[in-house]
Amino acid sequence: MSLLLFTLAVFGIAISAGLLGSLTGLGGAIVVTPALSLLLGVDLRYAIGASLVSVIATSSGAAAAYVRDGLSNIRVGIFLEVATTAGAITGALLSGRLSTGALAVIFGVVLLHSAWTISRTREETPRPKQDGRLARWLRLDGTYRTPEGEVDYVVTKEAGGFGLMYVAGVLSGLLGIGSGALKVIAMDRVMGLPFKVSTATSSFMIGVTAVASATIYLKRGYIRPEIALPVMLGVLAGSMVGARLLPRMPVKTLRKIFAIVVAVISAQMIIEGLRGKL
């Protein structure tokens, strides 16, 4: 394949992944890696390196707006980054010891979980009334703006959230994804932060988490500009378009369709991984 054709193909895949990622809330990276390896036969390690770069770009772009609007809880983010960066380093070191087949199977399982999450409608988690002792000491409680005015919120179960964040970091470093879904679960369902604050804080944290493993991948030579660049530009463009389209789309129907698509991709990842074809 010529460089031009390869670049265009990667760019096209990345745009679709960014679009799908922002319409489902999954993020582009989790779709771009299997697409590159299944459709173009790109070595999984190059695909993971490239998608990690796109993760840093999209999360930094999104976080710039969230942080400016005071939606990201900076203290919660930095506190939990201790866990995610440690996890990301663990994951990146671990990935060097696993075969691409094993990586593909783990990727497929995580992807299957994402398919299941987007197929269900989100239920409101009850908000805690009383903050935890650590949360008060670290001043994690916060305020955010809603259409009905400023709302105060409290943070609980700091240790549980912290532990789950370590796992999110490991998966991020291992698979080159942002693991935003797991980060949101840790904050929204476990620690009791409002859903909007959870997603905004997750975007804020993803960049730092991804960088902790990206530097290790860079040194190993997994990050090639010829792949990483069209992936970064495509996912960025796709997710920006997706964010514009989102309010005008029949999101519920789309999520159902995408859940099936993602489930099929994950099944293929698992099968190809087990056959040792990737």
Partner 1 sequence: MRNAEDVKMALVLSRTLRVGVVLAVTAGVIGAVLYLSAGAMAPVEFHEFKGDGVLFAHPGEVLRNAFTSESISLQARGASIAELGIFALILTPILRVVLSFVGFLRERDWIYVGITSIVLASLMWSIFLR
Q: Which stretch binds partner 1 (CB under 8 A): 72-80, 118-126, 157-165, 261-269?
A: 72-80
Q: Which stretch binds partner 1 (CB under 8 A): 15-23, 79-87, 158-166, 187-195?
A: 79-87
Using CB under 8 A as the binding rule, whether residue 183 contacts partner 1 is answered as no
Concatenating the DSSP letter of every residue in 143-165 gives: EEEETTEEEEE----HHHHHHHH
Alpha-carbon distance of 253 to 235, in angstroms, equals 22
Residues 6+ apart with CB under 8 A from 54: 14, 18, 28, 29, 32, 228, 231, 232, 234, 235, 236
Instruction: Please report how close the Cβ of residue 113 comes to partner 1 at its closest, in angstroms.
Output: 26
- Shortest distance in whole angstroms from residue 69 CB to partner 1: 9
Residue pair 225/5 in contact (Cβ under 8 Å)? The answer is no
Give residue 271's Cα distance to chain centre: 23
Q: Under rule CB under 8 A, which residues in 84-113 are in contact with partner 1?
A: 85-86, 88-89, 92
Residue 41 engages partner 1 in binding (rule: CB under 8 A): yes
Tell me how far apart the alpha carbons of residues 171 and 126 are, in angstroms, rounded to a whole number: 28
Return the number of the residue (184 or 216) whose C-beta is nearest partner 1. Answer: 216
Q: CB of 238 within 8 A of CB of 14? A: yes
Stretch that binds partner 1, among 102-110, 159-167, 228-236, 242-250 (CB under 8 A): 228-236
Interface contacts to partner 1, rule CB under 8 A: 1-4, 6-7, 40-43, 45-46, 53, 56-57, 60-61, 63-65, 67-68, 70, 72, 74-75, 78-79, 81-82, 85-86, 88-89, 92, 137-138, 141-143, 152, 207-208, 210-216, 218-230, 232-233, 236
